[in-house]
């Protein structure tokens, strides 16, 4: 029990020093082309045996087709044998429709987000897609700014309903046109969105103790 | 750009009209209800006994596992994943370890992979046994519960001997296994297989042709393969709808490609077919374990992994076929000792979304049967 309470308190309650101090610009680099990522990631692996893997471009008939339509709006990358496409936010509903209807990505596995507070466009929103006919997995990634919205993909895949609600609950990203966008795992009256990096893990606890017990939290 | 909704026959936004302008009745089921398998709350809209629509309220068991992951090192987070689907903790561990191994670009040695497969398939049997016992109990058959728990005990004993824990086992380590198998492990697993094979027949004798069981499960909670895909439903539920898809075959992980086994499928996508599919899956697991035991190689059990794990910056999604469906982990590394983001794609959470569609037009008592047949674990739904 003492271990459990002590280890979180090493991080300040607001938690915003953690991403800036311990986690420098490295997370911002993977989506960028290899030239930028290599120098930033190299010092991490001091033993020279294995070269540091970096995302590299990939190509396929599907990508060639998408490139003809969308040009530089899409950036296909591969990392650790897994393919993903970084796309411009403006392409979002359209490209998802194309992937489902024409490229047969009929199964929306997951929708999630990652928060990079030091970036101008703070959020990566990620769709993990799978195609039953092709037995192929792909990820679509778009960057959006804090407060910006995304069109809902519930009309594309009904499975997106709860997944988008969870992204809203945890990150505060709103999906336009979602049939019932409300919190899903946390109670309706909850303050803040916990998976943002600036949401400290003691914040809610301190608040509850202050309001309900009228004392300062002992943590 | 089309605007068609891919769900075939049900508009989930608006509930069905009550019969003869009867008053629609809204009743609450759970969160404290013995048949909701934990703390699931369901708000039912009823016309008499007929379900017009329902809404799930979840999150009562939310522990913030994904947030915890960002504040723990890769090694420290490993035991936490066992607490999501706590009846299939070994599968959770396998998915997590394999994902981090992908990030680190290492592979577990063959002996470790075989032991992993043995333990994971034992866990699939244990999970299905628990499902069968509780599901049958919900519907009114008490006997299977005692049978399945009696036999499940044998699996838990093997786990206890192997790693000291029965349920939240933390059996695997990133890069392989921490413990070599104990003396007599192979013999005990073999004994269990011989003991267990006739037990499946025993379960089937109780239920498969039981008239009450047939009445309560045939045609109940039907879902088509097309709707399963649209709603992202995987695992035995998808297979019972006639879709032959199993990640162990479609995108083999660990050493599953070495083994010969069948993927059982159903035809009608109802509760009875899902029951049959899971029964066959138990038999297939026995087959896989047998082959893995026969081919268990000698050698190291741990790959070369650094003591302080710092996977290179990057992101990886990896998923396995857990007893309940596709269990995925999406981990973002920034090159430090702690994951930058851990996302868990739990099968139960996504499968539960189909509850509304499967219960429409059914009776209240069938809702219980459908919750049971979806095989959800609330620890995994809420994380």
pLDDT in tens, B213-256: 998 898 898 898 888 999 999 999 999 999 899 999 888 888 89
- pLDDT band (50, 70, 90) for residue B4: very low
Burial class (CB in 10 A: 0-12, 13-18, 19+), B164: exposed
Backbone phi and psi for residue A8, each to the nearest 5 degrees, phi listed first: -65, -30
Tens of pLDDT, residues A14-39: 434 344 434 444 444 444 444 444 44
- pLDDT band (50, 70, 90) for residue B316: very high
How far apart (Å, rounded) are the C-alpha atoms in residues B216 and B236?
A: 19
Tens of pLDDT, residues B172-223: 989 888 888 888 899 999 999 999 999 999 999 888 988 989 988 988 988 9
Which residues in chain B belong to E strands, given as ranges? 25-29, 41-47, 50-57, 172-173, 176-177, 314-322, 325-333, 341-345
Best of B239, B321, B335, B374 to disrupt the A interface (most A CBs within 10 Å) is B335
Distances in Å between the alpha carbon of B333 and those of A45, B134, B136, B336, B375? Answer: 13, 39, 43, 7, 32
Distances in Å between the alpha carbon of B282 and those of B122, B145, B263, B294? Answer: 9, 16, 11, 19
Q: Return the number of other C-beta atoms located less than 10 Å from residue A80's C-beta.
A: 17
Worst-scoring range by mean pLDDT, B1-15, B99-113, B304-318, B329-343?
B1-15
Tens of pLDDT, residues B140-149: 888 999 999 9
- pLDDT at B25 (0 to 100): 83
**Is residue B337 less than 8 Å (CB to CB) from chain A?**
no
CA distance A5 to chain B (A): 13
Distances in Å between the alpha carbon of B249 and those of A176, B226, B255? Answer: 38, 20, 11
- pLDDT at B344 (0 to 100): 93
Tens of pLDDT, residues B246-286: 999 888 888 898 898 999 999 888 999 999 999 999 999 99
- pLDDT band (50, 70, 90) for residue A127: very high
Per-residue buried b or exposed e for A6-37, using 16+ beta carbons within 10 Å of the residue's own CB: eebeebebebbebbeeebeebbbbbbeeeeeb
Residues of A in contact with B7 (CB under 8 A): 158
**Is residue B231 less than 8 Å (CB to CB) from chain A?**
yes
Worst-scoring range by mean pLDDT, A185-189, A197-201, B33-37, B291-295?
B33-37
How far apart (Å, rounded) are the C-alpha atoms in residues B290 and B279?
A: 17
**Is residue B102 less than 8 Å (CB to CB) from chain A?**
yes
Residues of A in contact with B374 (CB under 8 A): none
B313: nearest CB among A30, A107, A115: A30
Question: Does residue B347 sit in helix, strand or coil?
Answer: helix
- pLDDT at A50 (0 to 100): 56
Q: Interior CA angle at B10 toward B9 and B14, to 5°? A: 150
Cβ A195–B243 below 8 Å, yes or no? no
Worst-scoring range by mean pLDDT, A198-207, B191-200, B251-260, B367-376?
A198-207
* Strand pairing report for A107-115 and A123-131: antiparallel
**Which tokens hold the place of B342?**
């851990």
Please report the number of interchain residue pairs, chain A to chain B, with beta-carbon separation below 8 angstroms: 134
- pLDDT at A24 (0 to 100): 41
CA distance A185 to chain B (A): 4
Question: B366 with B59: CB under 8 angstroms?
Answer: no
Q: Return the number of other C-beta atoms located less than 10 Å from residue A42's C-beta.
A: 13
Residue with tokens 């914040």: A203
**Which tokens hold the place of A173?**
């990203």
Query: ipTM score here?
Result: 0.85
Which is nearest to A195 in space by CA: A162, A173, A219?
A: A173
Best of B66, B314, B319 to disrupt the A interface (most A CBs within 10 Å) is B314
Contact partners, residue A111, CB within 8 Å, separation at least 6: A125, A126, A127, A128, A153, A160, A163, A164, A167
Question: Does residue A7 sit in helix, strand or coil?
Answer: helix
- pLDDT at B313 (0 to 100): 87
pTM > 0.80: yes or no: yes
**Which tokens hold the place of B232?**
């992202």
Contact partners, residue A144, CB within 8 Å, separation at least 6: A89, A121, A122, A123, A125, A150, A173
């Amino acid at each position: 029990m003492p271990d459990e309470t002590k280890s979180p308190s090493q991080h300040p309650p607001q938690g915003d020093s953690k991403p800036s101090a311990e986690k420098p610009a490295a997370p911002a680099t993977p989506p960028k082309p290899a030239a930028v990522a290599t120098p930033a990631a190299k010092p991490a692996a001091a033993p020279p045996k294995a070269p540091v893997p970096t995302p590299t471009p990939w190509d396929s008939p599907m990508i060639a087709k998408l490139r003809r339509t969308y040009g530089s709006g899409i950036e296909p990358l591969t990392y650790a044998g897994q393919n993903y496409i970084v796309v411009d936010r403006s392409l979002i509903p359209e490209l998802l429709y194309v992937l489902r209807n024409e490229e047969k990505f009929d199964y929306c596995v997951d929708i999630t987000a990652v928060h990079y507070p030091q970036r101008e466009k703070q959020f990566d929103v990620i769709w993990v897609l799978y195609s039953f006919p092709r037995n192929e997995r792909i990820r679509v990634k778009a960057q959006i700014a804090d407060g910006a919205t995304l069109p809902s993909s519930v009309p594309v895949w009904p499975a997106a309903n709860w997944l988008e609600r969870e992204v809203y609950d945890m990150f505060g990203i709103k999906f336009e046109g979602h049939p019932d966008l409300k919190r899903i795992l946390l109670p309706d009256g909850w303050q803040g969105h916990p998976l943002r990096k600036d949401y400290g893990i003691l914040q809610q606890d301190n608040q509850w103790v202050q309001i309900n017990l009228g004392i300062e939290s002992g943590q | 750009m089309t605007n068609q909704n891919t769900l075939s026959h049900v508009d989930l936004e608006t509930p069905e009209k009550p019969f003869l302008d009867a008053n629609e009745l809204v009743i609450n089921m759970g969160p404290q209800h013995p048949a909701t398998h934990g703390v699931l709350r369901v708000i039912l809209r009823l016309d008499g006994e007929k379900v017009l629509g329902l809404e799930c309220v979840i999150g009562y068991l939310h522990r913030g596992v994904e947030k915890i992951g960002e504040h723990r090192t890769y090694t420290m987070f490993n035991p936490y994943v066992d607490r999501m689907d706590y009846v299939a903790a070994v599968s959770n561990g396998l998915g997590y370890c394999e994902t981090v191994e992908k990030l680190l670009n290492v592979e577990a040695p063959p002996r470790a992979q075989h032991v992993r497969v043995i333990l994971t398939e034992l866990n699939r049997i244990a999970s299905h046994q628990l499902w069968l016992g509780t599901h049958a109990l919900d519907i009114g058959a008490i006997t299977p519960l005692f049978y399945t728990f009696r036999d499940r005990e044998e699996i838990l004993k093997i786990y206890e001997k192997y790693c000291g824990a029965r349920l939240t086992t933390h059996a695997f380590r990133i890069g392989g296994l921490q413990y070599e198998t104990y003396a007599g492990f192979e013999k005990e697993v073999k004994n269990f297989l011989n003991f267990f094979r006739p037990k499946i027949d025993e379960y089937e004798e109780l239920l498969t042709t039981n008239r009450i069981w047939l009445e309560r499960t045939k045609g109940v909670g039907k879902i088509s393969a097309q709707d399963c895909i649209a709603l992202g439903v995987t695992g035995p539920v998808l297979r019972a709808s006639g879709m032959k898809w199993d990640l162990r075959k479609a995108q083999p992980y660990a050493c599953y490609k070495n083994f010969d086994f069948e993927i059982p499928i159903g035809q009608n996508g109802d509760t009875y077919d899902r029951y049959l599919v899971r029964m066959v899956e138990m038999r297939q697991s026995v087959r896989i374990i047998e082959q893995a035991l026969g081919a268990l190689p000698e050698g190291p059990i741990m790959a070369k992994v650094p003591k302080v794990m710092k996977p290179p910056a990057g992101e990886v999604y990896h998923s396995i076929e857990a007893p309940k469906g596709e269990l995925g982990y999406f981990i973002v590394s920034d090159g430090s000792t702690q994951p930058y983001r851990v996302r868990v794609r739990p099968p139960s959470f996504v499968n539960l979304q189909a509850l509304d569609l499967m219960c429409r037009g059914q009776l209240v008592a069938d809702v219980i049967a459908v919750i049971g047949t979806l095989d959800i674990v609330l620890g995994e739904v809420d994380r």
